[in-house]
Amino acid sequence: MKNFAPIAEDATTYREVRGLTRGLAVLRALNEMPGGVGSVTDLARHTGIHRTTVKRLLETLRGEGFVHQKDEGTFYSLGFEVRRLSEGYVAVDWIDQVAAPAMKDHLRALSWPSDLATPDGGFMIVRESTHRASLLSQHRATIGIRIPMLVSSLGRAWLSWCDVEEREATLALLRVRTDAIGALARDGDYVKRIIRETRKRGYSMNRGEWASEASVVAIAFPILVGHHAIGAINLVLQQNVVSDREIATRYVPRLRALSNEISAGVAGSVRG
């Protein structure tokens, strides 16, 4: 009898399970709704999925405990099973153990929302955020969002204090892009000026340079281990609400204190 080796199955041979994809889209949309509550119409509009399909998906999710009905079935909210499912997620230890508690503790003093991000593939990826808890936030959910590197305070803070080799590798990734970010990365004078001004100021800033957040002014400090940045934390404010003087005298010192606390906590955990 001949022995046949098992045939390796390529993941690309599997077809997408459309119902699962749509169910996840509904959960994501519900998570982004104010208060985590939305109607069938709201969710259909947000996802682009037909109302009848959204209703069917919601009832399936309700049967599994992932959503609950509210207000006599008019609205749906996330259920406990979503939280329980997330218990298996393991984040970078310093973010969960050091950064998240510190951000929560400083929220009252800062008032405005903060994002903590780390670099990944030429972007800053938001790993922790206080947008959900801040009354001044314009966004409900930002965790997982990719932030452009050269036009955001988060990206500028990390680039200005990261290891030189990491900076050059990141800029090499950005230079091959065909969009506006690629053009900026290829402008050596622009990159040098941004880094020079950021280091001289002691923190980074963007004032509407990120087109999708044109009304925002954001400041950011690096999260340092030794002399090199492993991430950055920002404070997101509205340009027409907060003056430059208030930013400099009130919010810069408070965000610096938060970044220093996180950096010290990370350094301590590394030594441990």
For 111-154, how does the pLDDT look when each residue is reduced to its tens digit (9 = 90+)?
Answer: 999 999 999 889 999 989 998 888 777 766 678 888 999 999 99
Q: Which pTM was predicted?
A: 0.68
The better pLDDT of the pair 53, 86 is held by 53
Sort strands 123-129 and 146-148 into parallel, antiparallel or unpaired: antiparallel
Interval 24-69: pLDDT, tens: 999 988 888 776 788 999 999 999 999 999 999 999 999 988 888 8
Q: Compute the distance between CA of residue 217 and CA of residue 240 in angstroms, rounded to an integer.
A: 9
> Percentage of the chain with pLDDT > 90?
56
DSSP states along 1-36: ----PPPPPPGGGSPP-HHHHHHHHHHHHHHHSGGG
Give residues with Cβ within 8 angstroms of 35, minimum separation 6: 77
Q: Compute the distance between CA of residue 250 and CA of residue 255 in angstroms, rounded to an integer.
A: 9
Contact 46, 29 (CB under 8 A): yes
Contact 116, 97 (CB under 8 A): no
Interval 199-253: pLDDT, tens: 999 999 999 787 777 778 999 999 999 889 999 999 999 888 899 999 999 999 9
Tokens of 36: 């985590």
Give the phi and the psi of residue 89 in degrees, each rounded to 5: -75, 130
204-207 β-sheet, strand order: 146-148, 123-129, 115-120, 228-238, 216-225, 204-207
Q: Which residues are registered as beta bridge partners of 146?
A: 125
Contact 186, 175 (CB under 8 A): yes
